[in-house]
Amino acid sequence: MSMLIQQAELPFRAQTETPPTLLRSQPARVDPLLDRAMASARVGAWSCNLSDNRLTWTTGVYDIFGLPHETAVDRRQVLDFYTEESRDELERLRSEAIDQGGSFILDAQVKRPDGEMRWMRIHAEMVRPADAAPILHGLKQDVTEEKLRSEALRRLAENDALTGLANRAIYESRFLNAGRTRSAVTSLGALVLFDLNDFKGINDRWGHLAGDACLKVFAERLSSFFPDALLTARIGGDEFAVILGNDEPAEAIEARVNRALIRLRAPILWQEHMFTVSASSGIAFPTDPYFYDAEELFVRADTALYATKRSFGRTRESDRC
């Protein structure tokens, strides 16, 4: 019993270490009990005979790829399951490991035959036995749930909970703070600020649920009007920022913003009530799209925005400098 426990612990240690000596034989020879235990933990062992690229998998690897157990696997066909980015990185690391006799760890994404996307953590080690063909072998671990949790936490930290847009912290870190070192956004076209007119009146009359509904619709419309934006963020209660790249002249950007202001006035339906919410905007253009002061741009855009608040929806361009 003691020996069985020691053997069973090895694959789990290998999640953070070089694949263990236990797997230096063909992985398919793993004890059936250990094979089932590994599969239940969403871990599988694998090897690739480099003389003919023959693959050998344990049950856990078949499960990750969504293939019937004991299916004959061809490496060229298996590569088709990987996303392009993961496949390219896998091939690069694999070549390095073979050339240098090393090892690597890679998180790769695959699309299974049933269409489901999965993430796996690949542990690989190059081995050159004295009396046999060289092999690349290791472990594959399903880390899809880990990736989903990580993505959920990232969204929670980076996105506004109500609208789903980037939050103020992300806006500041990617634009304002980076701009202080002149590296905020590559080739900046304009910073556009939007603010809802008389939003407080909606909250006062209909309550915060109605106000929240208006903000959600406004954010959705703003994203659809500027799908090419480098960043769209909610930076205040009813204030939004859109950072545009330097892909069109200033006059074209001004025209787009004016069209957006008109379309943003479209009625919003909430619980059988119809609201019409207008917005004001302020635009600031950098003199040099590659070298600018993000803080100064924000001040100019903000000044232009509040200069138009009394006009309810007309765009005012700040002085270019």
Angle at the Cα of 50 (from 46 to 53), degrees rounded to 5?
A: 70
Catalytic site residue from 160, 238, 247, 302: 238
- Alpha helices for 185-249 (secondary structure H): 199-206, 208-225
Distances (CA, A) of 64 to 55, 81, 200, 236: 15, 11, 52, 44
Count Cα atoms within 13 angstroms, Cβ side, for 125: 17
Q: State how far Cα 14 lies from the chain centre.
A: 27
- What six digits make up the tokens of 201? 């009146």
Q: Which of 62, 46, 59, 245 is nearest to 139 (CA)?
A: 46
CB atoms within 10 A of CB 164: 15
- In the residue annotation, 293 being an active-site residue is answered as no
Q: Which of 222, 206, 215 is nearest to 161 (CA)?
A: 215
SS3 232: strand
Angle at the Cα of 185 (from 182 to 189), degrees rounded to 5?
A: 105
- What six digits make up the tokens of 5? 């426990």
Residue 165 burial class via C-beta count within 10 angstroms: exposed 0-12, middle 13-18, buried 19 and up:
buried
- What residues are annotated to the active site? 238
